[in-house]
Structure 1
Amino acid sequence: MSQTSRSRAAVILAAGKGTRMKSSLPKVMHPVGGRPMVDWSVDLARKAGCAKIVVVCQPSQGLLIEHVASLSGDIQVAFQDPPMGTGHAVRCAADALAGFQGDLVVLYGDSPLVPTDAIEELFASLEEGATVGVLGFDTRDPGLYGRLITSGHGELEAIVEAREATPEQLLVTLCNSGVMAAGADDMFRLLEKVTNDNAKGEYYLTDLVGLARGEGKRCQAVRCGEEDLIGCDSKADLAEAEAIFQARRRREALDGGVTLIAPDTVFFAYDTVIEPDVVIEPNVVFGPGVTVRSGAQIRAFSHLEGAQVGQFASVGPFARLRPGAVLDQAAFVGNFVEVKNVHMAEGAKASHLSYLGDGEIGAGANIGAGTIFCNYDGFFKYRTTIGDGAFIGSNSALVAPVTVGEGAIVGSGSVVTKDVAAGALAVARGRQVEREGWATAFREKMTAKKAETKRG
């Protein structure tokens, strides 16, 4: 936001029941790109410089209310009960914005892909003299969308609902998104004049354009891409929005120097950071909170969330990095290895079939196949520390809290319950016992018994 701009605020409409979602989860809490849709709208408002944000909910949406309260920053909740249209929803935010002097934008909690540039254009239209700015999109199939009727230079003359449009107006392809901006004083003043004299008995935000025009004020239409303005009322809409988001992130990754062997099989989160010269094989999923540094390789069928992967490190195939996993430069996590809240230092390796939870693995240490960090006693979590250059033999269980010192070796099949000194060998398993001829005698005995059973 420029220094000459007026103060900005946002009202995010999120009180819709979302019955078409067929879910107990509030509609705007369904995720796109790994975060709830309402968070996308909150983030959009922040990026557009909105100092105040009000989310309009229903009192029954406890999960949504708790989630909004958990978000950082100046976010307030206003209640709409019962719901009586979009105009009524915005009016419900009036008390939360009492005394605010500046420009106000109305966003929707189920529209996760609206770009910041479009909101900046809306605010710019107000600074250039418009009383109301409306975000619209062109589409080949306008269907039942309301039409934005414009004159030269995008001046908005009216919003006409499809059912009330003339045949000529139905040919208009510029449609209403519902996103609207106006000075806060103008918006709430005009909302006082909105009536519910319509088939649904609701108060419509779109009436503000006609009311402003009736006062001789100018209104402005701002164009945006159709995909940017997708609203998600159903699981099918949600899947479409996810597909749009993923396609964009894949293109961004490719344009940024990332190698995607099979782009359509790789899935990103909203905050995934992948540096140039990373190679990502097919069927990889990135949950929230992942950073992968240049030169790393993420091999096929791996799942990463809340993890940091250093330069030239290798993950997978079939690996899982959970929150708190940190791989330093050239660390190696192989197939069927799960890492959770463990820092693997430079060159550390866990090549296959291991669970590593809560601990530290020193530089150059080697973790053998089948190793388990036994980090949980049913009540609390404990840490395992492996020193630089240590070697953990295959099929070992390290019962935390435990430390294996620098350069130490743990023999295969050991259950380690005590600290191992640096440079020492620890073997913690039963002594091997051999009984000569026992196996031969056992087979002969059992073979005879089986034959006797069959004769009987």
Structure 2
Amino acid sequence: MTGLSPSRPATAVLLAAGLGTRMKSSRPKAMQPIAGQPMLAHLLANAAEVFDRLVVVVGPDMEDVAQLAAPFPVVVQTERLGTAHAALQAEDWFGEGDVAVLYADNPLISAQTMARLLEERRQPDVGLALLAMRPANPGRYGRVMTEDGAVTRIVEWADATPEERTIDLCNAGVLCADAGHFRRWLHAVGNDNAKGEFYLTDVVDLAVAENAHVRAVEAAEEELRGVNSRAELAQAEAALQQRLRAKALDGGATLVAPETVFLSTDTVLAPDVVVEPHVIFGPGVTVHEGASIRAFSHLEGCDVLPGAIIGPYARLRPGTVVGPDARVGNFVELKNATLGDGTKVNHLSYVGDADVGAQTNIGAGTIVCNYDGTFKYHTDIGSNVFIGSDSVLVSPLTIGDNALVAAGSTITSDVPADALAFGRARQQNRDGYGKRFKDARRAKKENS
């Protein structure tokens, strides 16, 4: 077969019609999450770096998978008749150039490995390229037979001889070929097998039969292993977490105990960020230079600006922005809240749907009541405000700059700037009543 120009267009077909029966889940396999994102999202992101066109093959009634795939085109495999049949559903999108078939349940294939596959396919004498690995435990993987560097066939484990089973080069199932040849081979695949399905691996035999040179591109097991069960999902999570931690460390962040920190794919940790043990980053978190995240904190959908300190045992929910040098202490929860420069919410407080100015102090046990059971309401707290401990701020509410709210207050009306607000009942002392009350309760208990 003739050589190919590196400028040839390339199409990736992503097979995502699997039900994930072994997952024992009502959620499609492609939607199972790893590092805060569905498996398909990882594959889409990496494939988009390499291929000119992407098309996703889904099963019937998989609207959530189709929505995730947008804006890439989606085709439906109405009958699940095997992987070759699934790939053939995308035939109209092959175009000219090269076509690779990938799997949503192989979510960790890096863009670099995809590029190597495409580069190998574009060698002058290569008609078909595939991905292969040498797993620590080859188990029941299909074995890749080679001769003089060329792939001669793939032998499924069940059909392999004892000698063939000793071969450790295993098939990962990903293929790449010229679009025209791929079309022809897919149409030629038969279903004369126990399940009556059309298998993509049969394309290798068809290519070899035409004297097309087939080459294997090797990659690490952690990239190529399939995810078909909960146990394999956990293994993929562990592998990706190792990759994400290494990236964070290389970027200049300090992870005190890396193995205890869990990151999302889009987590951004700037240089000189310090992350203590047992911290979880959900999707959408950016932590800026010099900030510290203390132990046992959980962050999601938030922005932590330079010099801020979060935790320990803090929870930042989506929409939260913590300003420079602000402090969010133990057992504090923030939701859709903005804290200004140097503001402190140090312990045992909830602040939701609120904007808080600079250099404000919110005392222990303060609660912003932002929800009436039907609607959410907003609270504005100015700069240099002092909120006394155990205060309840009932939204909607505005507290002006330099105001002071007395400890134990329930505030239901706006507080002007520079004002002192009391929102509590006047204390009354009844001499001797405490002792009489306790004596009466003890007597009742003894006589009951």
- Name the TM-score, length of structure 2 as normaliser: 0.94
Structure 1 residues not aligned, in runs of 5+: none
Distance 2:253 2:444 in 1: 66
How far off its partner does 1:178 sit?
0.5
- Determine the structure 2 residue equivalent to 1:54: 55
* 1:90-109 equivalences in 2 (<5 Å): 90-95=87-92, 97=93, 100-109=95-104
Query: Which residue identity lines up with residue 207 of structure 2 in the other structure?
Result: A
Deviations 1:397-447 (A, max 9, x none): 111111111111111111212211111111111122223333344445555
How far off its partner does 1:249 sit?
1.9
* 1:397-412 equivalences in 2 (<5 Å): 397-412=392-407
1:146 is matched with which residue: 135, 142, 145? 142
Query: Which residue identity lines up with residue 137 of structure 1 in the other structure?
Result: M
Distance 1:278 1:424 in 2: 38
- Determine the structure 1 residue equivalent to 2:302: 307
How far off its partner does 1:366 sit?
0.5
1:15 is matched with which residue: 8, 14, 17? 17
Contact 2:343 2:361 in 1 (8 A): yes
- Determine the structure 2 residue equivalent to 1:132: 128
Helix, strand or coil at the partner of 2:188:
coil
- Determine the structure 1 residue equivalent to 2:67: 69
Kindly indicate whether residue 289 of structure 2 is the aligned counterpart of residue 287 of structure 1. no
2:243 is matched with which residue: 237, 242, 248? 248
Query: Which residue identity lines up with residue 387 of structure 2 in the other structure?
Result: I
Distance 1:445 1:246 in 2: 62
Distance 1:151 1:71 in 2: 39
Distance 2:214 2:445 in 1: 94
Structure 2 residues not aligned, in runs of 5+: none
Distance 1:44 1:450 in 2: 71
Kindly indicate whether residue 427 of structure 2 is the aligned counterpart of residue 432 of structure 1. yes
Kindly indicate whether residue 87 of structure 2 is the aligned counterpart of residue 85 of structure 1. no
* 1:170-209 equivalences in 2 (<5 Å): 170-209=165-204
Query: Closer, same or farther in 2 for the Cα pair 1:4/1:443, shift >3 Å?
Result: closer
Deviations 1:13-41 (A, max 9, x none): 12222221111111221111111111111
Helix, strand or coil at the partner of 2:192:
coil
Query: Closer, same or farther in 2 for the Cα pair 1:362/1:211, shift >3 Å?
Result: same
Percent identity at matched positions? 49
Contact 2:6 2:122 in 1 (8 A): no
Instruction: Name which of structure 1's ranges 190-199 and 435-444 shifts more when overlaid on structure 2.
Output: 435-444
Helix, strand or coil at the partner of 1:199:
coil
Helix, strand or coil at the partner of 2:17:
coil
2:351 is matched with which residue: 337, 347, 356? 356
How far off its partner does 1:271 sit?
0.9
Distance 1:78 1:23 in 2: 23
How far off its partner does 1:265 sit?
1.3
- Determine the structure 2 residue equivalent to 1:317: 312
- Determine the structure 2 residue equivalent to 1:210: 205
Query: Which residue identity lines up with residue 47 of structure 2 in the other structure?
Result: A
Distance 1:128 1:374 in 2: 65
Distance 2:75 2:162 in 1: 40
- Determine the structure 1 residue equivalent to 2:326: 331
- Determine the structure 1 residue equivalent to 2:340: 345
Helix, strand or coil at the partner of 2:425:
coil
Contact 2:58 2:65 in 1 (8 A): no
Helix, strand or coil at the partner of 1:268:
coil
RMSD across aligned positions (CA): 1.9
- Name the TM-score, length of structure 1 as normaliser: 0.92
